[in-house]
Structures are given as C-alpha cells and as structure tokens.
C-alpha cells in the first residue's frame, strides 16, 4: 500500500460524508493531522434583484458561516485539525484539483454515487476528479 503524506477528502456534507472520512481513516489510521477536508460550492449568485423582483444577496461569507460549523463537527468527530478545513468556491472538480496541488496532496478521496445511464454519460464530479487529478484518487462507493 502506498505511503501517503497528505490526503484531501472532498465532502459534500451529506450523510455519506462520514462514510468517506471513516473509510479513509480506516485505511490510513495515523494520518489525521495530514488529512484535509474540502467542501466546494459554486460561486453565489449576487445582485440587487431588479430582473427577478427578488433579492439574491448571498455572499461567500454567509455561505462559509453556514458550512463551517458542519465541517468543524466532522473534524472534531474524527480528530482532524480545524486548520485543515477548507471551503472553496468554483467548479468542484477543478477547485479540488487546484487545491490538491496547492497543499501537495498525494491522495484525493471522494465519494461515488454509482451513476448509471444518462447520468453516467453526462459525467459526475467523482469522474471529473479521477480524470483530472495529478495524484492518486480513491473513490469510495456510496
């Protein structure tokens, strides 16, 4: 089994996120201090709402305030340092690839929902992570 020094676990904060983290830590039980959790989301829609008649003022800061407590709860449960929690905005796969390179991760772990048919043809985030990564990728089947 390869010896990894830095692991990036991509979580969507669904119930399956815990399964992905647990699976990773079972394989690499002594690496909590080198594990990073990343949650990616598209950039928020902002504006004054003149076109829709509604106000869509969601800032990245507001989104971070909503997401961070959930990430922190996961980090506390699994002994992952809070400094290794990351919320990034942009295309999920591209953002994960860029961040993995930035922290010099040698393994990316993500979930795979086992898509079939049209969903498989159109692609998925897990597929894009695997095929664009510059390091090893572990896809945990959900």
CB 43 within 8 Å of CB 72: no
Asked whether residue 2 is domain-assigned, the answer is: no
Asked whether residue 1 is domain-assigned, the answer is: no
E strand intervals along 1-142: 7-10, 35-41, 85-89, 107-112, 136-141
Asked whether residue 91 is domain-assigned, the answer is: yes
Instruction: Please give the model's pTM, rounded to 2 decimal places.
Output: 0.83
Asked whether residue 15 is domain-assigned, the answer is: yes
Number of domains in the chain: 1
Asked whether residue 80 is domain-assigned, the answer is: yes
What's the domain range around 65? 7-141
Asked whether residue 81 is domain-assigned, the answer is: yes
40: left (phi over 0), alpha (psi -120 to 50) or beta: beta
User: Per residue in 36-73, pLDDT tens?
Assistant: 999 998 877 654 444 544 544 568 888 899 999 999 99
User: Per residue in 2-25, pLDDT tens?
Assistant: 688 899 999 999 888 999 999 999
Asked whether residue 121 is domain-assigned, the answer is: yes
CATH of the domain at 80: 3.40.50.620
């Amino acid at each position: 089994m390869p010896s990894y020094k830095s692991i990036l676990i991509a979580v969507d904060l669904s119930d399956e996120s815990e399964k992905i983290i647990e699976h990773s830590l079972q394989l690499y039980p002594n690496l909590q201090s080198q594990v990073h959790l990343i949650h990616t989301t598209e950039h928020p829609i902002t504006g004054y709402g003149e076109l829709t008649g509604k106000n869509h003022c969601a800032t990245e800061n507001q989104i971070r305030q909503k997401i961070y407590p959930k990430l922190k709860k996961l980090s506390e449960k699994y002994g992952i340092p809070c400094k290794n929690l990351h919320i990034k905005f942009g295309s999920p796969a591209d953002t994960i690839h860029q961040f993995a390179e930035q922290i010099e991760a040698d393994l990316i772990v993500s979930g795979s929902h086992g898509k079939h048919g049209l969903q498989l043809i159109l692609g998925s985030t897990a597929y894009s992570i695997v095929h664009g990564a510059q390091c090893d990728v572990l896809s945990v089947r959900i």
